[in-house]
A and B are shown apart, each in its own frame.
Chain A
Amino acid sequence: MDETVAEFFKRTILKIPMTEMMTILKAWDFLSEKQLQNVNFRQRKESLVQDLVLLCEKKRASVHDAALLDIVCEDIDLFDMEQFKSSFKKILQRALKNVMVSFRDAEENAVWIRIAWGTQYRKPNQYKPVYVVYYSQTPYAFTSSCPLRSNIPLLGQALTVASNHHKIVKMDLRSRYLDSLKAIVFKQYNQTFETYNSTTPLQEKSLELDIHMDSRIIHENRIEKERVQRVTQETFGDYSQPRLEFAQYKLETKFKSDFNGDILAERKEPLRCLIKFSSPHLLEALKSLAPAGIADAPLSPLLTCIPNKGMNYFKIKDK
């Protein structure tokens, strides 16, 4: 067998969780039942994979067979929802005596989890639950704020283990709108205008301006205005922005000014600032700043990177 094909087999089989191994191999229907029976499925995964690849080699499996195996893997939902739920629940219940966990399946392979926390001596508090929404096909979960901070690591651990991941990382992204968070994290916010033609709409817009205006009124800085419009459109796109309420920046940067050169010139320490932008719809508000003349165009990348980076909490330091 070609080395690359062997590698392909190895990687495809490695992707299969141990719990699904038998199911997938049976569905693939390349290795016979007898052959599968002879394989030791209790050994370490690396060794099992080696054995299976050898078997495939013996049977002269081709790259097409490998491709078929790949399709089978995709077809069968490798994520076992029931197993996730029971595992998640077990982990929490093992650690805490009084905890109540409820599940609700939602669309798009999402599961809503509600956790009511108690303590060793008190029953779970039903009025301060934590909600988690986990999208099984993605490595993302969204949680509501947890009133008991000490439970957060446990929650993270339960999610990680139950979903067969290695570790969980908290993102610097917070909002009241789950749909907006999803839009940002799954990069769905710019899908409405995939075939956007940048030249035509702008021309139409300029025309609109002329039709409704008195011909005696002329725009000063017309060119600049159009440039600002164009740049804003390029930065923000023409679609509606995902909804966030705030962005926070912790700055630790030195004071530098072109006009006030000697102010704080000798000071080595940076200025420690905390800047917070709040709005019912932050990104739309930011988008309107340059056209209104309140900001320069292009707007600072610190602001425009929010949806791309999936962050609205930043720590900025001098390099």
Chain B
Amino acid sequence: MDSYESTHQHIASSRLKDYFIGATPLQKRLESVRKQTSFVPTPPRRKIPQCSQLQEDNDPQKVAFLLHKQWTLYSLTPLYKFSYTNLKEYASLLSAFIAAEKQKGLAVEVGEDFNIKVTFSTLLGMKGTQRDPEAFLVQILSKSQLPSENREHKVLWTGWFCCIFGDSLLETVSEDFTCVPLFLANGAETNTAIVGTWFQKTFDCYFSPLAINAFNLSWMAAMWTACKMDQYMAATEFLWSVPCSPQSLDISYAIHPEDAKALWDSVHKTPGEVTQEEVDLFMDCLYSHFHRHFKIHLSATRLVRVSTSVASAHTDGKIKVSLNKSSYVIFPYCYIVFKMYGICIFHIEEAQWNANLRQ
């Protein structure tokens, strides 16, 4: 028994040291959950939600500005003793921290105004179920030094934290922790680093860059292609990187969006759901069409980027969501399925935003 216990703890600490410091009861709890879900297969089916409470709370203006920007994804461990009632305090603390860091001479951006303002605000509606904690937004704005100028503050950096369908994690975490496992940043990397450092120091958490693997990229490509659009702005495009030596080779494969949709419709059998078989078949068709012409096996190469009219994603953990301006009702929202090992699968779906179409 003794030896088992010690090995058990050893495994626990070596795996978890990246995520948590101290908190033994939590370690044990998480370890038990890990053991239960030691093999986490990707759910073979993902529902395409027709309507959810997300729409009810969404502030279209606030969420609209999240679009058309490139976001870099990070996964974040739960925040210790974070409170939604202290947002103003956090804003001034972070502001002071940033000013101090910049004065230290670290990460100074040339020409940047030292007068900055930090805001923390909640982002209503960006969650999957009512149990999920509210998403919140952090922004760094520049303050104009001249009092006579009453200009709007220029946004220098934006980051938002959210938790969507985090049920499996929420069950295991004590009340002292707030789970917002997905962090998205837009703006200078130096600012991302400063904000990250402050969060890590203040809430005992840890950020790690989130890579999106080829498997998930294929899912995204299939789901985004499945979105019905009134007007397509861009082709459905894939980028593969070929591991050949000594020269690297990139293959870009762009399909007319109508043709991609036709292919998907021909593959898609189950209404309201997307299955693994359908995604595999969709990709297979693309591979075989390519092979017929070029005799190259794309499946042997590495999928690096997918891009559609709806959104684009890069394996380095960068995503961008586009709003189809011409469509009066289409409004994209994000929902995330969180896996125990810190891998987030990020899906972007379109939802009917118009009250008329709500069911």
Contacts and interface: CB of A to CB of B under 8 A. Distances in A.
A36 interface: no
Nearest to B299: A294
Contact of B247 (A285, A293, A296): A285
Contacts of B247: 279-282, 284-285, 288
Interface string A250-284: 01010111011001100101011111111111101
Contacts of B146: none
B305 to A, nearest CB: 13
Given A277-B249, A288-B244, A289-B242, A267 B266 contact: yes
A207 to B, nearest CB: 23
B151 interface: no
B252 interface: yes
Contacts of B336: none
A14 interface: no
A50 to B, nearest CB: 55
Contacts of A275: 251-254, 290, 293-294
Interface in B251-268: 251-256, 259, 262-263, 266-267
B244 A294 contact: yes
Contacts of A289: 242, 244, 249, 296
B214 interface: no
A302 B293 contact: yes
B285 A263 contact: yes
A278 B262 contact: no
B216 interface: no
A149 B267 CA distance: 44
A292 B254 contact: no
Interface in A205-254: 249, 251, 253
Contact of A300 (B250, B259, B285, B295): B295
A205 to B, nearest CB: 18
Contacts of A294: 242-244, 296-297, 300-301
Nearest to B281: A260
B292 interface: yes
Interface residues of A, number: 40
A264 B262 contact: yes
Contacts of A300: 293-296
A259 B267 CA distance: 13
Contact of B255 (A260, A273, A282, A298): A273
B246 interface: yes
If over half of B's interface residues share one DSSP class (helix, strand or loop), that class is named, otherwise mixed; here it is mixed
Residue among A267, A275, A278, A300 having the largest count of chain B Cβ atoms under 10 Å: A275
A277 B248 contact: no
A5 interface: no
A295 B285 contact: no
A316 interface: yes
Given A263-B267, A294-B242, A300-B294, A271 B289 contact: yes
Given A277-B250, A285-B244, A256 B292 contact: yes
Report the contact-size class of chain B (Cβ under 8 Å from the partner): 35 or more
B6 interface: no
B288 A260 contact: yes
Interface string B124-149: 00000000000000000000000000
Contacts of B273: none
Contact of A293 (B245, B255, B263, B300): B300
Contacts of A161: none
A12 B249 CA distance: 50
A279 B249 contact: yes
Contacts of A267: 262, 266
A168 interface: no
Contacts of B292: 256-257
A273 B288 contact: no
A253 B248 contact: no
B288 A259 contact: yes
Nearest to B287: A257
Contact of A273 (B256, B262, B266, B284): B256
Contact of A292 (B244, B267, B294): B244
A284 B246 CA distance: 8
Interface string A179-196: 000000000000000000
B253 A296 contact: no
B289 A255 contact: yes
B48 interface: no
Given A271-B289, A279-B248, A294-B300, A303 B262 contact: no
A272 B256 CA distance: 6
B235 interface: yes
A276 B297 CA distance: 15
A124 B155 CA distance: 41
A96 interface: no
Interface string B203-241: 000000000000000000000000000000001000000
A178 interface: no
Contacts of A260: 281, 284-285, 288
Interface string B277-311: 00001001100111011111100110000000000
B295 A295 contact: yes
Contact of B250 (A257, A263, A278): A278
14 contacts: A249-B293, A260-B288, A263-B285, A271-B263, A275-B251, A276-B251, A280-B248, A282-B249, A285-B242, A285-B244, A292-B243, A294-B300, A296-B297, A299-B294
Given A277-B251, A288-B246, 13 more contacts: A253-B289, A255-B285, A255-B289, A257-B292, A259-B284, A259-B288, A260-B285, A273-B255, A284-B247, A285-B242, A292-B244, A294-B242, A299-B294
The 10 closest A-B pairs by CB, nearest first: A272-B256, A285-B249, A285-B247, A296-B295, A295-B296, A300-B295, A279-B249, A276-B252, A274-B254, A281-B247
